[in-house]
Amino acid sequence: MSRKREKETIRKMVEIYCWKKHGSKKGELCPQCQNLLKYAYQRLDNCPFGDRKPTCKKCPIHCYSPLMKEKVREIMRFSGPRLLIYDPFGWIVHELREKLPVLKG
């Protein structure tokens, strides 16, 4: 899976979280969520695995700071199940990547 797809997935999860938790307009982000998304994009851009990157949960390198790691976990716990409603294809791809090593590349 490409970093582009990873970026789309994290963006959608952050948008859902911000919309539901911070009351932002759908598709917009509050400053806190904008900063978190920018941070996640920087980490993806600098990932030594490139486009062969595993999902963060299964990655041997933990490049997020502890604070950001916890915030992203919170967002994923909240938005992951909702992604099935708002982006079913993205949810399916993300779940399959978690479970099937064949789809890692």
Query: Is 29:18 a contact under the CB 8 Å cutoff?
Result: yes
Q: Which domain holds residue 50?
A: 3-104
Total domain count, the chain: 1
**Closest among 67, 60, 59, 73 to 10, alpha carbons compared:** 73
pLDDT tier at 1, thresholds 50, 70, 90 = low
Q: Is the pLDDT of residue 93 over 80?
A: no
Query: Is 72:38 a contact under the CB 8 Å cutoff?
Result: no
What is the per-residue pLDDT across 31-86, written as a single tens digit (0 to 9) for each?
A: 999 999 999 999 999 988 888 877 777 788 888 999 999 999 999 999 988 988 88
